[in-house]
Structure 1
Amino acid sequence: MALVSAGSIRFHVQQLPSCVRRDEPPGSARERPVVVFLHGLVVDNLSSFYCPLALPAARAGHEVVLYDLRGHGRTERPATGYDSRTAVRDLFGVLGALGLGGRRLHLVGNSHGGTLALHAALARPDLVAGLTLLEPPLSGAWVENMVDTLSAAALSLEDSPVPAELLSLRLRKAANLTAIADALLNRTTLIDDIAASRTFTPADYARLRCPVLIVCGEHSELVPGAVELARHAADRVVALEILPGLGHDVLKETSGTLRAAVLAHLDASAVVAASGSRIGALVP
């Protein structure tokens, strides 16, 4: 486990060095964007990416960074700062602490992590060379539904005996996740910060200039938002892939379809970044 300080917070970080590819000259891996993974809310953490995508990306020749977001996993849990602007500042602070400040990035975000990745791309288009968004929640309706869901969960966890009962049953991992959820929902501003978050506009999508892959499950309620992003983005920037039979759970896809799509997009985005081209190089 590695802990790095960014601002006043210690973040749990994992780095995976790129494997040397036989078809590339020495040192070329460093010219590729660093692939940074951003996970979802509350009970999620960096581990959800580790085997499905992070290890395969490193083995394919990409330098990889994973970290637990503020308040999640093994990262410290301050009472405030769960808004998107602070999350973007955390991202670049973590990378700076790792000595990666100024490097080009490819951001891979799952669920809420996808919205953070998009905010980062809009804030720093000079550094974000590519995006992979898995089930990104982009609409105001999602924000309202999520706030309602999190508020209900907070009430059910407040003063709940469940963590102690899980420990008594030696279900340590479940107890730990439940305790983290309770702390995030009842002792931080996370719910209020999510409720106050700014939703994206067509004008935001039109400003995107890096290649974007969006992956959604066929039965996901988030597909319309992904289609809206693709419709308003600049021509040939966004590729949208719908995985049949899935909902808001594409990371659980086990056939290798997701992994193949993401690795292909990482490779193609790296080529675009190296060539200096921004639009029209990836999406037919």
Structure 2
Amino acid sequence: MADVVARGVRFHVQRLAPAGRVGASTPVVVCLHGLVMDNLSSFYYTLAGPLAAAGADVVLYDLRGHGRSARPPSGYTLDESVADLVALLDALGLRQPVYLVGNSYGGAVALRAAAVRPDRVAGLVAIEAHAIGDGAGEWIERMSNTLTVTALGLAYDDMPGQLRLLGNRKLARSARLADALLNGTTLIDDIAATPPMAGADLSRIARPVLAIYGALSDLAEAGRQLAREVPHCTLCVVPGQAHTVLREATALVRGLVLEWLAPRAGLPVRAATGAGGGQATPASTPRDGSG
């Protein structure tokens, strides 16, 4: 556990090294979590350990304003998140291209990074990534409205205080952090101003992409558009799952990620597939044979 300062912001970082010596050829995997109520723990308890066991050097961090990282009043756009990522890699001395694994908003950050900083990205996994495709504008508007309503409820209904009175300290702390983030920063305005990634933005992503979406998710069409627009994209649709596929189908997602990553990152295939834990394989639809 460590704090790392990048772009003048203090980031909370966890790093899980593989067994044995870490060298220049060791693949680095950086995990990017979702918005507001999320933090690095969503990967720590799902994918990080198996990735490290398979031979990857795994970096997890709380995005600005989230978890144990500092909460500056501004800087919550997608491009600022990409700039944070690159600066953090520099601060950690990681100059080689890395593999990104992003969930929800973290998936959008990973895709944006691959589009604007391909020199720093070797490949990426986008799990339920949003702000993508032709319907992204409507999704961004709905999300902004939802966050605004949530912010008002936190501010005027004293939800953290009510939860404390009920004895739920953990949830009260999460509500307090969400209140500070939604009502004390420009996050909602920054999300509302996020330009969707579509068309040319997606087609210029030259790195290999694994896109994982729940079949019941309202973002499923974004996954299909990724498969159509990104030159080297493999789409896996998980039956019976919605936006919470990482949490609800962890073993299956873990298997998909490790099996996709192993040949690309040079991980031992036996170690990677053995750590997967899932048996079912969703339909995989690469746009071409190089996904």
Distance 1:154 1:255, change over 3 A: closer
Distance 1:268 1:194 in 2: 35
- CA shift, 1:271, in A, is 4.3
Which of 5, 27, 31 aligns to 1:33? It is: 27
The letter of the residue matching 1:9 is V
Q: Is the 8 A contact 2:241 2:249 kept in 1?
A: no
Aligned length: 268
- CA shift, 1:170, in A, is 3.2
Matches within 5 A, 1:1-284: 1-20=1-20, 30-100=24-94, 102-137=95-130, 138=132, 139-234=136-231, 237-254=232-249, 256-271=251-266, 282-283=290-291
Distance 1:16 1:30 in 2: 16
Distance 1:34 1:125 in 2: 15
- CA shift, 1:253, in A, is 3.1
Structure 2 residues without counterparts, runs of 5 or longer: 268-286
Q: What's the Cα RMSD here?
A: 1.8
Task: Give deviations 1:139-186, integer Å, cap 9, x for gaps.
Answer: 222111101110111111113322123223332210111011111111
Q: Is the 8 A contact 2:14 2:61 kept in 1?
A: yes
Distance 1:281 1:123 in 2: 24
Q: Is the 8 A contact 1:202 1:229 kept in 2?
A: no
Distance 1:189 1:254 in 2: 33
Distance 2:173 2:246 in 1: 22
Task: Give deviations 1:224-268, integer Å, cap 9, x for gaps.
Answer: 11111211222xx11000111110011123462111100112212
Distance 2:180 2:109 in 1: 21
Distance 1:267 1:76, change over 3 A: same
Distance 2:206 2:262 in 1: 17
Look up the SS of the partner of 1:214 in the other structure. Answer: strand
Distance 1:12 1:55 in 2: 18
TM-score by length of 2: 0.87
Structure 1 residues without counterparts, runs of 5 or longer: 21-25, 273-278
TM-score by length of 1: 0.89
The letter of the residue matching 2:54 is A
Look up the SS of the partner of 1:31 in the other structure. Answer: coil
Distance 1:255 1:112, change over 3 A: closer
